[in-house]
Amino acid sequence: MQQQVNQDVKQRNCITVHKTQGRPVVFGHGFGCDQLIWLPVLSQLPDNVAPITFDYVGCGRSDFGAYDKEKYASFNGYVQDLIDVIEALNLGAIDYVGHSVSGMIGMLAAIERPDLFKQIIAIGPSPKYLNDTDYEGGFEREDIIDLLSMMERNHFEWAGYLAPIVMENSQRPELAEQLRKSFANSNPEISRRFAEVLFLSDNREYLERVPVPVTLMYCAVDVIVPVSVIEYMATQIPQCDLVELNAAGHYPHVSAPQEVSQAIMANL
């Protein structure tokens, strides 16, 4: 029975075990993307690392038939996806690398199931994107409402607008185009719901409860997650290290995969 459950999860979340020999490391993708976003980094990893990637339900090559509006109306559905994925692998506690929202999902999952995590490496995470009293999240509520409205009105216009802004590397327009295609290929309705869950969330209260070591990797220039957010998180997470990447933008694993892979290896 458990074997069947594991197989169902592997298909549902399109789990890809890239290698069977080596130290297993699970990689979680960010909003608007799927597991393929990690390929540039995976190609740089040494032979002694066995990377594993997956898609959240409603993303990439996951089973869209498993998407449930209620389940994924909060972080809980995505947290359960990650827990299910790690359990299905049957590897015990693993190292986890999560980009953006996946970093926060990893921390929430570790609070619920600390036995599944050795450590978390979070690249550009944020517990709250909206500015608040004594907290600079980077966005005013009106900014997010405008963004959500654009997604609802014209998904492709939104993808073309946002991709070059968050990628930052204007001298390499091909990177923004790659990201635009990823955004544009996502399901408009599901993507818009995911964006609302993400950008209107407030997970600050959970940071002090994260039970495993966390390494926060960040770029000094990132319009989605300002450095002030990273510094705030570092004061709240009990076991926390900071690593500034020699890269710019919210997608350093795309623009500087060698830098990111080296930083990951230095912290495993």
Of 250, 253, 255, 261, the active-site residue reads 250
Q: How far apart are CA 124 and CA 260, in angstroms?
A: 12
Of 34, 55, 95, 222, the active-site residue reads 222
Is 250 assigned a catalytic role?
A: yes
CB-based contacts of 88: which residues, under 8 Å, 6+ apart? 5, 6, 7, 9, 10, 15
Q: Which helix (H) or strand (E) holds 144?
A: helix 141-153
Of 55, 95, 100, 155, the active-site residue reads 100
**To which residue do tokens 């549902």 refer?**
12
Q: 99-125 burial string, b = 16+ CB within 10 Å, else e?
A: bbbbbbbbbbbbbebeebbbbbbbbbb
Is 222 assigned a catalytic role?
A: yes
Helix (H, G, I), strand (E, B) or coil at 98: strand
- Which residues are marked as active site? 100, 222, 250
